[in-house]
Amino acid sequence: MAQRGRKPSAWKNVAPSRDELFALKRTALLREAARAFSARGYHDTSLDDVAKTLGVTKPALYYYVTNKQEILFECHMLAQDLGNVAYDYAVEHGKTGREKIVLVCRRYIELITSEIGSCAVLSEFAALEPKNRAVIAKRRDDFQKKFSELIIEGVKDGSIREADPRMTVFFFMGAINWMTQWFRPDGDMSGEGIASVFSDLLEHALKPQ
Amino acid sequence: MAQRGRKPSAWKNVAPSRDELFALKRTALLREAARAFSARGYHDTSLDDVAKTLGVTKPALYYYVTNKQEILFECHMLAQDLGNVAYDYAVEHGKTGREKIVLVCRRYIELITSEIGSCAVLSEFAALEPKNRAVIAKRRDDFQKKFSELIIEGVKDGSIREADPRMTVFFFMGAINWMTQWFRPDGDMSGEGIASVFSDLLEHALKPQ
DNA sequence: CAACAATCTTACCCCAAAGTCAAACAAGCT
DNA sequence: AGCTTGTTTGACTTTGGGGTAAGATTGTTG
């Protein structure tokens, strides 16, 4: 009934194509695996478990993924993407260096808390195999470099007091990354609430005087 | 020669008794395991490797330890002890709430950086078996509770601006705990250096105005 | 319907690494 | 020397879980 009077091609919106179905299932797999990894850790999560949760058997997973390691790698990539989204947002909306930094902080927290499943995985860095680890490490360093530059910008424009950029980045990125160890979506503090408190603390830490 | 003219009992200082030897070896085992766990992660570290590094074989380790899990548990306990040491030091030496909090931060960082091997393990929380995990979690919560109370004290005595105590603790404990992910003893920043930067940031974040 | 491709299952292989055990070795004591 | 207790080893068992092969099932298309 809702379909009536639509264009003939309306079915496309309702019945996903094969490729779309494939992508959908693959994403579901990554999400579920990420959730499990964060809850029990990479090594204590068997693909049998993940499969059971998804209502299939293990070999079915291997149709969408070449091995367990690939899952972990993709989760890391997805989580890091959020960081870049937050960064772009902040650079666009902030004026001074401090405003931008504080905005990144706030936005990033909002993003990872709403997508916690795929992000808590950030703590499983050691479980990445060397080649993948190198890729993720490189991206992370690039990311933190951009942050450092925002701080330098803030010191120049007078919105941030003199401070070691690299250490400052480590400081608040640590505070944020550690969230994956304690944040629970059903806890008594919302993602936005935490974002407010944390970005406020950061702002005072950086402000001159 | 250095021994000459000493008391007859001087040998005691040089030749450890059996019990002392046992304790010495056991500690060496824990230290080395901790180092390996931090470098490669708990699950990617085999006891065969640890044994080889110590110049013995795996079964020898089992003479000092009942199983692998016990090693991880003891490492966590040791790392947490440092937190309490830092706390006691700060309460003794600080006057206002803020001074105490900042001192805990500084002292704790100095301690874990000098003992990084046994501390980087803090990130392997998920690898603890349920029973042990409960013990460690309890201790950690107690620890953070004491911190919260220092903050409340600081707000009362006017040395700390209005702030959510629990979130504030999460914030800077996160920043510190995350150090285990990036700090390297041979890096270009000493433990004291980091302690200074971090405690300075924390101080500004808490200070009124 | 037949044929072909996409998807998923049952049954299996395989191996790294935790953990065990009896025997060998070492050190002190009488 | 020989006895005893503490320490270490070589050789072994066991198991969880990653990964695979071959066939069943479902869906699609001519």
Q: Residue B98 domain-assigned?
A: yes
Average pLDDT, chain B: 90
Q: pLDDT-based confidence at A3, cuts 50/70/90?
A: very low
Q: How far is B203 from chain A (nearest CA, A)?
A: 7
Question: What angle in degrees, to the nearest 10, is found between the helix axes of A165-177 and B165-177?
Answer: 120
Residue A46: is its pLDDT beyond 70? yes
Q: pLDDT-based confidence at B13, cuts 50/70/90?
A: low
Residue B59: is its pLDDT beyond 90? yes
In angstroms, the CA B199 to CA A170 distance is 13
Q: Which nucleotide is nearest to B46 (CA to C1')?
A: C17
The mean pLDDT value for B148-156 works out to 97
In the prediction, which pLDDT does B185 show?
86
Strand C lies under 7 A from the Cβ of residue A23 = no
Other C-beta atoms lying within 10 Å of the C-beta of residue B9:
7
Q: A206 near A154, Cβ under 8 Å?
A: yes
In angstroms, the CA A124 to CA A142 distance is 19
Q: Residue A34 domain-assigned?
A: no
Who contacts B126 (Cβ-Cβ below 8 Å, separation ≥6)? A40, A41, A44, A123
Structure tokens at A150: 């925002």
Question: What angle in degrees, to the nearest 10, is found between the helix axes of A18-40 and A47-54?
Answer: 130
- Tokens 């006691």 -> residue: B88
B9 shares contact with chain A (CB less than 8 Å) = no
Residue A198: is its pLDDT beyond 50? yes
Q: Residue A163 domain-assigned?
A: yes
CB contact under 8 A, B171 and A201: yes
Rg of chain A over all Cα atoms, to the nearest angstrom: 20
In the prediction, which pLDDT does B84 show?
95
Residue B40: is its pLDDT beyond 80? yes
Cβ contacts of B68 on chain A, cutoff 8 Å: none
Q: Residue B26 domain-assigned?
A: no
B125 shares contact with chain A (CB less than 8 Å) = yes
Strand D lies under 7 A from the Cβ of residue B127 = no
Give the number of domains in chain B.
Answer: 1
In the prediction, which pLDDT does B54 show?
96
Closest CA to B54 of B76, B71, B78, B69: B71
CATH of the domain at A102: 1.10.357.10
Using a 10 angstrom Cβ sphere, with 0-12 exposed, 13-18 middle and 19 or more buried, the burial of residue B179 is buried
Helices (H), chain B: 11-14, 18-40, 47-54, 58-61, 68-93, 97-114, 116-119, 130-156, 165-177, 179-182, 191-206
Residue A189's φ and ψ, nearest 5 degrees, are -130, 125
Residues A133/A134/A139/A144 CA torsion (nearest 10 deg): 90
The mean pLDDT value for B159-181 works out to 95
In the prediction, which pLDDT does A115 show?
78
> Of the given ranges (A44-48, A119-123, B164-168), which has the lowest mean pLDDT?
A119-123
- Tokens 């706030």 -> residue: A106
B54 shares contact with chain A (CB less than 8 Å) = no
Residues 4-43 of B with CB under 7 A from strand D: 18, 21-22, 25
CB contact under 8 A, B167 and A41: no
In the prediction, which pLDDT does A15 show?
66
pLDDT in tens, B93-141: 999 999 999 999 999 999 999 876 656 667 789 999 999 999 999 999 9
Q: B108 near B88, Cβ under 8 Å?
A: no
Q: Residue A45 domain-assigned?
A: no
Q: Residue B180 domain-assigned?
A: yes
Q: Residue A151 domain-assigned?
A: yes
CB contact under 8 A, A44 and B194: no
In the prediction, which pLDDT does A180 show?
86
Q: pLDDT-based confidence at A10, cuts 50/70/90?
A: very low
Q: Residue B7 domain-assigned?
A: no
Query: How far: A11 CA to D26 C1' (Å)?
Result: 21
pLDDT in tens, A83-141: 999 999 999 999 999 999 999 999 999 999 987 665 666 778 999 999 999 999 999 99
pLDDT in tens, A146-197: 999 999 999 999 999 999 999 999 999 999 999 988 998 889 999 999 999 9
Cβ contacts of B184 on chain A, cutoff 8 Å: none
Residue B18: is its pLDDT beyond 50? yes
Query: How far: A125 CA to D8 C1' (Å)?
Result: 36
Query: How far: B59 CA to C22 C1' (Å)?
Result: 13
In the prediction, which pLDDT does B121 show?
63
Name which of A167, A179, A198 is nearest B194 (Cβ-Cβ). Answer: A167
Strand D lies under 7 A from the Cβ of residue A47 = yes
Find the domain containing B139 and state its range: 69-206
Q: How far is B138 from chain A (nearest CA, A)?
A: 13
